[in-house]
Chain A
Amino acid sequence: MKKLKYLITALMLLSVISCSDDFLDTNNLYQKGLENFYQTPKDIQEAMGGVYNSLFVNDVLSEEHLTANLLSDYMLGGGGPDDITAKNIDKFIDPAEDTYKSLWVETYNGVYRANAIIEAVNKNDYSKFFNTAAEAEDFKNTALGEAHFMRGFFMYRAARFFGGMPLINATDAPRDVARSTFTETFGQIASDFKKAAETMPKIAPSSVPLSEYGHANVWVAKAYLARTYLFYTGYMTNIEKQATAVIPLPEGGEVTKGMVVQHLEDVRDNSGYALAADFRNLWPYSYVNTSAGATVLPWAETNGLNWVGQDGPNAAVGTGNHEVMFSLRYAFGNWDWSNGQKYNNRVPLFFGIRGNNMIPFGQGWGWGPVHPTFFAEWPDEDIRKEGSVLPMGVAEQATDSYQANKGDHETGFFNKKYTTLQHEGAEGVKGMFYYLYGWSHGDPFQLWAAQDFFYLRFADILLMHSELTETANGINAVRARAGLSPVSWSLDNLKKERLYEFAFEGLRWFDLVRWGDVENPSKNYFTKPANVSNSGIPAVYTNNYRPETKGLLPIPESEIRLSNGVYDQNPGW
């Protein structure tokens, strides 16, 4: 038996040999972790791409410019009979759940990614990657400022829809905190914008290499501080009915009107941004004849339009765009990718003409038809009118073959700034951007709209300045570009100017809210009856804003449940 014992022991040893806990250790070869990333300027650059990646949202209803336009007074719901969601947004109702969940989720994805950069850049020393201390300092200030700006931007984008939101200011901050107040939330946003406006180096947009076009910069941060000031103080004064002139900052101190005006004047006088010479040259329709190599849009030919492009002052395509300061850089979509449609601008498809496939204005789903009264009241001598609204059945606009009665809320007017553009090319009739960028994959019908959404144009610097200083200079600069004579300062003149200058650019809804005009039928188009066709049945459409919602949308119901009731739903929802 003794022999047996030895044998057993020996065999067991043999079988256990090579088996130790080290065997279970693994090495992640395809991903880095929080602890070993953010170590080099290249890491930061890639992580910054990740921050901007959260500008893309999965669900189309979470697209800022789509929903803000549907909420606004000059666009109706539209679409086909099945497009209930568009009509619900337009009608200020929300029978479904989680309608704007993607916006909520992407906001915090962006915030988390920005927080990781802020913490790393504050902690790490990158000087060994640079030749001089000044370069290292510049890198640090740029990265820090940009990350602060983007954190503020995500919160700004969402909080204008949702109101007060949970504030997550560090990667290890508790996630189950309650919603902060409206004031606290906008205080944090202003603080981030202010930090960016004071930290980032002042660089002229024309000296930024084309390959880096698309980043936010110090000028953009200054402008957004002004936007935040106007929105917050306007909302508090006119919706909450508490006269407010400053934004209190979480670190102490406040943002005052004077501070904001100074920032705007710095942008106006020193940034190098300027108005494009012709308003219409901002929009891609001004390029469609060039792209097609033929006159597919006679009106553009007649007016000698020539696109400035969407890739900044040093654009390779277009004459150079000095006006757009910040935009969402859409590209192409592909059904094979996960959420592959979100990388292209879905607004041209969703707001495109329904049931008509014309050249150059192609087919879309017909959401957001333009209110006829808004169109009728717009003076004809304003070149922005034809530059912004596309009427149906007009030969000069190449819409003469239009057949009506294809969808709901049809008014015969569609927006022209973000719509489907297409023409004949080597591969048949395809989207203009498909040919412009040489795209070749996927679905060229629905996923080709690589048209940037313009968040911020220089025109808004001028108009914000006018509004804050109650002077007419900014207004008149914008009017002059539109071929209009000067006017004197009045708030109504300012409002009208913003309405026409920024039509369908996603700003109107927030303007109506902050001015309180959303509650005043004499100052908006909601209750103005519109003659429409609902899939062939003539009807008169009017809308009713619900003041109990205080200009906000519902936060996602599932988030309320996941928070265990820590979040309250917004009033009226």
Chain B
Amino acid sequence: MVGYGVQKKALVTGANVNVQGDRISQMNTTTAMEALQGIAAGVNVTRNNGSPGAGTKVTIRGLGTIGNSNPLYIVDGVAVGNIDYLNASDIATIDILKDAASAAIYGARAANGVVLVTTKKGVKGTKPSVTYENYIGFQNMYKKLPALNAQEYMFIQNEGRTNDGLAPYDWETMLLNNSYLNNNYPGELGKELGQYVWNQLQDGWEGTDWVNEMTMKNAPVQNHALNITGASNDLTYALGFSYLDQKGILGGDLIGAGLNRITARMNTELTLFKNSRHDILTIGENLTFNNSRNQWVATSNIYWNDLHNALVTNPLLPAYWDKSPDPNGFTPTLEGISLGQTNPLAMMFYNRSQYSWGRGNSLAGNVFGVFEPIKNLKYRSSFGLNSWFGNSRSWAPTYALSAQYNNANDGVTQSMYQGVDYTFTNTLSYDFSIREKHNLSFLVGSEVLKNKLNFEVGGTKANSIFGLPEYAFLNNVNVESLSDINTWGADWAAQGGGLLSYIGRSTYNYANKYMLDVTFRADGSSNFAKGKRWGYFPSVSAGWNFSEEEFMKDLGWLDFSKLRFSWGQNGNHNIPNFIYTSNIEYRAQGYYFGPNKLVSTATAVPANVPNPDVTWETSEQLNFGLDARFLKGKLALVADVYQKTTKDWLVLAPILGTAGAGAPYINGGDIENKGIEMSLIWNDNFGQFKYGVTLSGAHNKNEVTRLANAEGIITGPAHVLSQGTAYISRVEVGFPIGYFYGFETDGLLQNQDEVDAYVGPEGKPYFEDQRPGDVRFVDQNNDGVIDDDDKVMLGKPNPDFELGLQLNAEYKGIFVLTTLTGKFGMQVMQSYRSFADNFTQNYTTQIFGRWHGEGTSDRIPRLSSSSHRNTNYISDIYLHDADYLRVTNLTVGYKFNEVLKGWTWLQGASIYASVNNLYTFTQYDGMDPEVGFGHDAAWASGVDLGLYPLPRTVIFGLNVKF
């Protein structure tokens, strides 16, 4: 597949990767993109986290923008937001267009590459066939990071106190101190709880293991897919139905967290008129329907992350207490330990998706007609549709576990939404040959993309009549005051606009030996002001099948070889509309004139500084490639070298405060990505033993080369590793995008001699109170002070090198296949507690490696019971190399083809057992070195705050084909 057409592989001049659908199905992943990890060189796929349906972050050939870096997904010719709605069994092939020339035909939206998905279709002249694929699996945590138990916790906390010269904690008094429970409930409930815990501890109770309490053992996953394909004289058809249900390892049993997805698909093609030589009029459709519910848990920053909560909550708090005033028995907060450490199970139970019902639907596909009046002159018209609709209802329950964690008024929310984008594409193509050797083809066309409907309406009311989840409907709420109501409604599509494009392509080859391909696309986007709307995206590529040359013909070991060259430009117009003009925005919280402090007076403010000049971001790419096959097809090689330059990236760069309104998007900088990709494929057999090896590797180097604002810096959010700490990610000219920034350290001060020697150029100690066990920060500018000027690049979150290795073997129906993926050269910033403000949060057992005497550690400083620069200065003590090689999948199975030969009605059957995420080779000491989380910044990643880890899944599967 290439854009708007099909091309013979031997004649392709761009850098594309083609992955067959069964290769994806074999991986048994929830979404298709996950299965591409390590399979497609140059395509970096990182899971956002390990929860069901969490999605992936996909970067093709390096991050080229700090805005939206997702590739363009085209399913059967229709642009969609992502392909997570598809079941792997729906997919016939995925083609990834990596270089600019291949993607240029998609012009304005292709700056980040294009993922072309073709769903399964019937094939002319084939018999009907029915395929049933099924697997069930059990997921468990691959690696648990133990938090301290009660005794360890108290010991470590007291060590911090002692180090600070303070008396150890009086745990009994702290446990008994609970004024919220005492004030709000009869008796002295707070004291009673404290006494209960204290007695338990006296009896040797080891405390609560929160991660265990939250984890579902053997969380099930099951997948069923039924596919029917076939053809009659003039009709081909493919029908698919699939069902996936996956529980999450976190919260899977407590709140039923997980993903449930139904997909139904119908693709047909019908020839209406034909003559003896060709079809004259063909019509068809491809439609995929999806219905899903994702019951999520919190997986984000330190304030919204269930696993983080489980790691930091003190183990002294029992999970449940039979005298708890909470109707579900969750133990209230032990205020004396910390007001903020709420029972993490309760927060998951009350504040996540448990009381949120509603399923989302999507319907995507197209209807098309092909008119071919003369052989090879085709007029194709396609009307594509991408629609989404759904409803939701949720209940915000009441709860009361501490002064900080209580909600006296429940609330009900109901909402509905519906939207549709359409794509109307018309192309005319003609293929012909002149004197047999000169093969030409031309394609011209136009495309209109419009967001036709984007409707949402909903409301929230507080104080429901029944106060029960099953009665949580807006009708069942009496409102006491205006502030109890919130409603919304909009049709964002009513504002008009869209994308209008003209495309042209001509290809020429001489005797299948010399290829030349020229494309051009013009796009007009509503996101820019008149005069700035149109972008023009040319490309040219050429290929030389030099194995076809006479002088190469005699080389017996070389079957085929091709050199490729391509150059082209793509665009990106992905910014909100109306950036180019001034916007007056109404603020729900404006100002409070008059006595009503519940509802603000109507308030309007100029929202942004207009940028009338804002226009396309352009990505320009140069690619050289080599394809070769050797030894009668046993060995194949694909190699590419590229340089991709993103120019005038669309960026929301900080502006001077004097502007007086929000920053506009500007065409604000350049990024350069350079890299090499290579794949080697070997397939051979010894008699009945067949085997194959695919090895792929990709290297990428990323550098920001221009940032248009004076500061030349864009910084990530603060309070990432802990409340009260500085930002850690940044974008700066001369550095890779999203690099980690902070203090470099030179180990710890081990003894008094080292303390005395840690002085500035004038012999003055860097810190008056420095002592053994403290961090030795590096004074980069040697000015005798450790301050912001000493911060440097510590590392970066994106890999230098990615590796993929697939092995497969088959003997007499028994087959084994395994996939290994590796990423190298990236780092992770890790923190599993809010160390700068929440000192009584728990630690993981990593803390046993702390400094507690000379030579005991050179990384984790001495403990302190309060805030200390050792930890508060963001430094490389949080930085970890995260190189890893993972056995992503190992499958062993048996094909019954031989055994069942006699059963003609059965075309094939196989069973298999498989393990996903079998083993990870890594020195990273966290739960999972694959860390896609980057906090609030889309361009940042590699921040591990207790990221939902990828489970290890044991799967049993069955495939039958009738």
A108 touches B657 (CB 8 A): yes
A15-B445, A113-B606 are contacts. A30–B484 as well, Cβ < 8 Å?
A: no
Using Cβ atoms and an 8 Å threshold, which residues of chain B touch A563?
A: 656, 710
Using Cβ atoms and an 8 Å threshold, which residues of chain A touch B865?
A: 81
Comparing A453-461, A470-478, A554-562, the segment that makes contact with chain B is A554-562
Using Cβ atoms and an 8 Å threshold, which residues of chain A touch B83?
A: none
Using Cβ atoms and an 8 Å threshold, which residues of chain B touch A358?
A: 179
> B132 in the interface, Cβ–Cβ < 8 Å?
no
Comparing B92-100, B402-410, B635-643, B912-920, the segment that makes contact with chain A is B402-410
A53 touches B587 (CB 8 A): yes
B601 touches A49 (CB 8 A): yes
A32-B584, A84-B867 are contacts. A49–B578 as well, Cβ < 8 Å?
A: no
Using Cβ atoms and an 8 Å threshold, which residues of chain B touch A96?
A: 726, 788
Of A15, A50, A175, A562, which one neighbours B381 at CB under 8 angstroms?
Answer: A15
> A446 in the interface, Cβ–Cβ < 8 Å?
yes
Using Cβ atoms and an 8 Å threshold, which residues of chain B touch A18?
A: 448
Of B183, B444, B445, B480, which one neighbours A359 at CB under 8 angstroms?
Answer: B183
Q: Which residues 330-366 of B sit at the A interface, judged by CB distance below 8 A?
A: 335, 339
Of B167, B656, B788, which one neighbours A175 at CB under 8 angstroms?
Answer: B656
Report the separation of the CA atoms of residues A112 and B711 in the bound assembly, to the nearest whole angstrom.
Answer: 23
Using Cβ atoms and an 8 Å threshold, which residues of chain A touch B657?
A: 101, 104-105, 107-108, 556, 559, 562
A23-B448, A26-B526 are contacts. A116–B593 as well, Cβ < 8 Å?
A: no
Interface size of A in residues (CB-CB distance below 8 Å) = 107
A8-B428, A329-B591 are contacts. A37–B584 as well, Cβ < 8 Å?
A: yes
> B374 in the interface, Cβ–Cβ < 8 Å?
yes
Using Cβ atoms and an 8 Å threshold, which residues of chain A touch B605?
A: 47, 50, 53, 109, 113
Give B490 Cβ to nearest chain A Cβ, in Å.
Answer: 7
> A443 in the interface, Cβ–Cβ < 8 Å?
yes
> A215 in the interface, Cβ–Cβ < 8 Å?
yes
A34-B584, A359-B183 are contacts. A215–B403 as well, Cβ < 8 Å?
A: no
Comparing A206-214, A287-295, A485-493, the segment that makes contact with chain B is A206-214
A15-B445, A359-B183 are contacts. A43–B604 as well, Cβ < 8 Å?
A: yes
> B417 in the interface, Cβ–Cβ < 8 Å?
no
Of A19, A316, A445, which one neighbours B500 at CB under 8 angstroms?
Answer: A19
Q: Tell me which of B450, B593, B604 has the highest count of chain A C-beta atoms within 10 A of its own C-beta.
A: B604
> B16 in the interface, Cβ–Cβ < 8 Å?
no
Report the separation of the CA atoms of residues A16 and B450 in the bound assembly, to the nearest whole angstrom.
Answer: 15
A81 touches B866 (CB 8 A): yes
Using Cβ atoms and an 8 Å threshold, which residues of chain A touch B329?
A: none
A53-B605, A108-B658 are contacts. A343–B500 as well, Cβ < 8 Å?
A: no
Of B374, B404, B406, B445, which one neighbours A4 at CB under 8 angstroms?
Answer: B374
> A132 in the interface, Cβ–Cβ < 8 Å?
no
Using Cβ atoms and an 8 Å threshold, which residues of chain A touch B603?
A: 46, 49-50, 52-53
Q: Which residues 154-177 of A sit at the B interface, judged by CB distance below 8 A?
A: 166, 168, 175-177
Q: Which residues 68-86 of A sit at the B interface, judged by CB distance below 8 A?
A: 80-82, 84
B593 touches A49 (CB 8 A): yes
A28-B581, A82-B836, A175-B656 are contacts. A332–B495 as well, Cβ < 8 Å?
A: no
Report the separation of the CA atoms of residues A245 and B462 in the bound assembly, to the nearest whole angstrom.
Answer: 58
A175 touches B659 (CB 8 A): yes
Using Cβ atoms and an 8 Å threshold, which residues of chain B touch A429?
A: 180, 183-184, 403
B524 touches A24 (CB 8 A): yes
A37-B584, A212-B594 are contacts. A561–B604 as well, Cβ < 8 Å?
A: no
A12 touches B428 (CB 8 A): yes
A53-B605, A113-B605 are contacts. A441–B583 as well, Cβ < 8 Å?
A: no
Of B379, B400, B524, B585, which one neighbours A11 at CB under 8 angstroms?
Answer: B379
Give A565 Cβ to nearest chain B Cβ, in Å.
Answer: 8
Using Cβ atoms and an 8 Å threshold, which residues of chain A touch B495?
A: 26-30
Q: Which residues 439-467 of A sit at the B interface, judged by CB distance below 8 A?
A: 439-441, 443-446, 450
> B839 in the interface, Cβ–Cβ < 8 Å?
yes
Using Cβ atoms and an 8 Å threshold, which residues of chain A touch B600?
A: 49, 331
Of B381, B498, B595, B659, which one neighbours A311 at CB under 8 angstroms?
Answer: B595
Report the separation of the CA atoms of residues A337 and B787 in the bound assembly, to the nearest whole angstrom.
Answer: 34
Per-residue contact bits, chain B 726-738, to A (CB 8 Å; 1 contact, 0 not): 1000000000000
Using Cβ atoms and an 8 Å threshold, which residues of chain A touch B444?
A: 12
> A438 in the interface, Cβ–Cβ < 8 Å?
yes
> B552 in the interface, Cβ–Cβ < 8 Å?
no
Using Cβ atoms and an 8 Å threshold, which residues of chain A touch B339?
A: 363
Q: Tell me which of A359, A445, A562 has the highest count of chain B C-beta atoms within 10 A of its own C-beta.
A: A562
B593 touches A14 (CB 8 A): no
How many interface contacts (CB-CB < 8 Å) are there between A and B?
285
Using Cβ atoms and an 8 Å threshold, which residues of chain A touch B468?
A: none
Give A294 Cβ to nearest chain B Cβ, in Å.
Answer: 14
Report the separation of the CA atoms of residues A176 and B709 in the bound assembly, to the nearest whole angstrom.
Answer: 12
Give A442 Cβ to nearest chain B Cβ, in Å.
Answer: 9
Using Cβ atoms and an 8 Å threshold, which residues of chain B touch A437?
A: 597-598
Using Cβ atoms and an 8 Å threshold, which residues of chain A touch B379?
A: 11
A12-B428, A25-B497, A562-B654 are contacts. A440–B462 as well, Cβ < 8 Å?
A: yes
> A88 in the interface, Cβ–Cβ < 8 Å?
no
Of B183, B403, B787, which one neighbours A445 at CB under 8 angstroms?
Answer: B403
Give A446 Cβ to nearest chain B Cβ, in Å.
Answer: 7
Using Cβ atoms and an 8 Å threshold, which residues of chain B touch A34?
A: 582, 584, 606
A28 touches B578 (CB 8 A): yes
Of B445, B492, B526, B591, which one neighbours A52 at CB under 8 angstroms?
Answer: B591
A24-B524, A112-B606, A438-B480 are contacts. A329–B659 as well, Cβ < 8 Å?
A: no
- Closest B residue to A174 by CB, please name it: B658
Per-residue contact bits, chain A 96-110, to B (CB 8 Å; 1 contact, 0 not): 110001001101111
Report the separation of the CA atoms of residues A564 and B655 in the bound assembly, to the nearest whole angstrom.
Answer: 11
> A246 in the interface, Cβ–Cβ < 8 Å?
no
Give B914 Cβ to nearest chain A Cβ, in Å.
Answer: 43
Using Cβ atoms and an 8 Å threshold, which residues of chain B touch A80?
A: 837, 866-867
Report the separation of the CA atoms of residues A11 and B444 in the bound assembly, to the nearest whole angstrom.
Answer: 11
B656 touches A53 (CB 8 A): no
Using Cβ atoms and an 8 Å threshold, which residues of chain A touch B597?
A: 329-332, 433, 437, 439, 450
Report the separation of the CA atoms of residues A31 and B662 in the bound assembly, to the nearest whole angstrom.
Answer: 15
Report the separation of the CA atoms of residues A250 and B339 in the bound assembly, to the nearest whole angstrom.
Answer: 54
Using Cβ atoms and an 8 Å threshold, which residues of chain B touch A7?
A: 373
Per-residue contact bits, chain B 713-746, to A (CB 8 Å; 1 contact, 0 not): 1000000000010100000000000000000000
- Closest B residue to A109 by CB, please name it: B660
> B661 in the interface, Cβ–Cβ < 8 Å?
yes
Using Cβ atoms and an 8 Å threshold, which residues of chain B touch A52?
A: 590-591, 593, 603
Give A116 Cβ to nearest chain B Cβ, in Å.
Answer: 6
Give A569 Cβ to nearest chain B Cβ, in Å.
Answer: 13
Of B409, B446, B724, which one neighbours A82 at CB under 8 angstroms?
Answer: B724
Give B591 Cβ to nearest chain A Cβ, in Å.
Answer: 4
Per-residue contact bits, chain B 442-467, to A (CB 8 Å; 1 contact, 0 not): 00111010100000000000110000
A111 touches B583 (CB 8 A): no
B660 touches A168 (CB 8 A): yes
Using Cβ atoms and an 8 Å threshold, which residues of chain A touch B710?
A: 561-564
Q: Which residues 561-597 of B sit at the A interface, judged by CB distance below 8 A?
A: 577-578, 581-595, 597
Give A330 Cβ to nearest chain B Cβ, in Å.
Answer: 8
> A380 in the interface, Cβ–Cβ < 8 Å?
no
Per-residue contact bits, chain B 597-622, to A (CB 8 Å; 1 contact, 0 not): 11011111111000000000000000
Q: Tell me which of A96, A441, A443, A558 has the highest count of chain B C-beta atoms within 10 A of its own C-beta.
A: A441
Q: Tell me which of B502, B589, B658 has the highest count of chain A C-beta atoms within 10 A of its own C-beta.
A: B658
User: 16 extra interchain contacts, Cβ-Cβ under 8 A, other than A27-B495, A331-B597, A536-B167?
Assistant: A7-B373, A12-B428, A31-B583, A31-B584, A33-B581, A35-B582, A46-B586, A49-B602, A81-B839, A96-B726, A97-B788, A108-B659, A109-B605, A212-B594, A444-B406, A563-B710
What are 17 of the A-B contact pairs (CB < 8 Å)?
A21-B500, A46-B602, A46-B604, A49-B591, A52-B591, A101-B657, A108-B659, A176-B656, A210-B594, A311-B595, A316-B595, A332-B597, A340-B589, A429-B183, A439-B483, A440-B481, A559-B657
